[in-house]
Amino acid sequence: MSLYRTELRRLTKRRFTRYMTLLGLLVLVAVVLGTFFTNQKLDADAVAGAERQADRQYQEQVRWSEQERAACEAAKAAGTPNDGRYPDDCSMITAPPREAIEASWFLPSTFNFRETFPETLIPFAAILALVGFVIGASFVGAEWSSGGMMNLLLWRPKRLTVLLTKLAALLTGMLAVTLPAAVAWFAGFWLVATFRGTTEKVTSGVWQSVTLTGLRAVVLVLVVTTVGFALASLGRHTAMALGGVVAVAVVGQFGLGILLEMANVRFPQVWLLPTYVLAWMQKKVTLQDWESCNATVFGECKPETFDITWQQSSVLLVVGVAAVLGAALWAMRRRDIS
């Protein structure tokens, strides 16, 4: 019997795998439905309603400015102390021009596929990456804690082959879930944009861009799944992977972030892992240092910037996966199985 098919069947038959996958997919469905019901398509009535609200806002500003100007003049005539409430010249209290109050401020939320959909791929990747991490850690961690790994090695004594075959089966299973989920995610938000927003200006270039972003999301899911698997194998328990994530999140991210802020380090986000994950998904993240002010010829203050690209993030992801998986393989080869 093929070890790969055996491990793939073992993965799909586990109740935890099924329940965790179902939970992740239900969360994704909830996100799509929530977006559908919190947006609406803009029609002539919605635009006209926004124009009326803008007019009412302008009239309120006119009435308020007239009342304040009258109060200013009355206080000035009575000799009441100003206390900085009113200007010296009461005629300066005027309403803003009508064009300053835009009707777009009062338009209901609408889903613009071209502008908004790329942002939805970040929670998509985050949810499925969490599912993959937990399933990957549990898949191998349960084998170690239950003694199943020892029994398996009696049948197939090649340690590295066994571990890598398990990983291959795990990644195949996650890919079989992630790819259809990604297609459904694209289709779901296209329907949201069709009925509750707009699909205008969605060109072939836009499709190419969002497709590449979707592929990066799939890669991120597989990378996080591999890390969860490797950590649980390294510690020979599911709790090793979960505890490692908590340690990285609390100590390595929040604690390090606070320490860098206290030390006034420039661009402290450079040292935080979420920055590189975001750069991987968005292609580039631009950090700003507002402590430094580069004045322009117009007197404008522009902060210094630092760019992190998806290429830099890819190097970090490759090195991180290689280090964790390499350590798991080394431990599998060197340590006693007992």
pLDDT digits (tens, 9 = 90+) for 220-248: 999 999 999 998 888 776 766 677 676 66
The domain containing residue 201 runs over which residues? 3-41+111-334
> Which structure tokens are listed for 146?
């239950």
Asked if residue 171 and residue 215 are part of one domain, the reply reads yes
Asked if residue 161 and residue 53 are part of one domain, the reply reads no
pLDDT tens digit string along 143-192?
A: 777 666 666 666 667 778 888 999 999 999 999 999 999 999 999 999 99
Asked if residue 159 and residue 60 are part of one domain, the reply reads no
Asked if residue 227 and residue 297 are part of one domain, the reply reads yes
Q: Are the beta carbons of 309 and 135 closer than 8 angstroms?
A: no
Cα 22 from chain centre: 21
pLDDT at 278: 93
Domain count, the chain: 2
Asked if residue 187 and residue 52 are part of one domain, the reply reads no
pLDDT at 43: 76
Q: Are the beta carbons of 133 and 225 closer than 8 angstroms?
A: yes
pLDDT at 264: 76
Of 106, 135, 158, the residue at which a domain comes to its end is 106
Of 106, 124, 145, the residue at which a domain comes to its end is 106
pLDDT at 299: 58
- Neighbour tally for 83: CB within 10 Å: 7
pLDDT at 153: 66
Rounded distance between C-alpha atoms, residue 247 and residue 255, angstroms? 10
Nearest one of 86, 52, 83 to 72, comparing CA atoms? 86
Asked if residue 148 and residue 22 are part of one domain, the reply reads yes
Long-range pairs for 234-241: beta carbons < 8 A, 24 or more residues apart: 234/324, 234/327, 234/328, 234/331, 235/141, 236/141, 236/144, 236/145, 237/141, 237/144, 237/145, 238/137, 238/138, 238/141, 238/142, 238/145, 239/141, 240/137, 240/141, 241/133, 241/136, 241/137, 241/141
Asked if residue 203 and residue 226 are part of one domain, the reply reads yes
pLDDT at 36: 95
Asked if residue 140 and residue 264 are part of one domain, the reply reads yes
Of 81, 106, 131, the residue at which a domain comes to its end is 106
Q: What is the pTM assigned to this prediction? A: 0.83
Cα 100 from chain centre: 34
Tell me the average confidence (pLDDT) per consecutive run of 10 residues in the chain, 338 residues long. 85 92 96 94 81 88 87 79 73 83 83 94 95 91 71 70 91 96 96 92 93 96 94 77 67 69 77 90 86 59 84 93 92 68
Asked if residue 48 and residue 37 are part of one domain, the reply reads no
Asked if residue 216 and residue 96 are part of one domain, the reply reads no
Asked if residue 90 and residue 26 are part of one domain, the reply reads no
Asked if residue 199 and residue 72 are part of one domain, the reply reads no
pLDDT at 289: 77
pLDDT at 44: 78
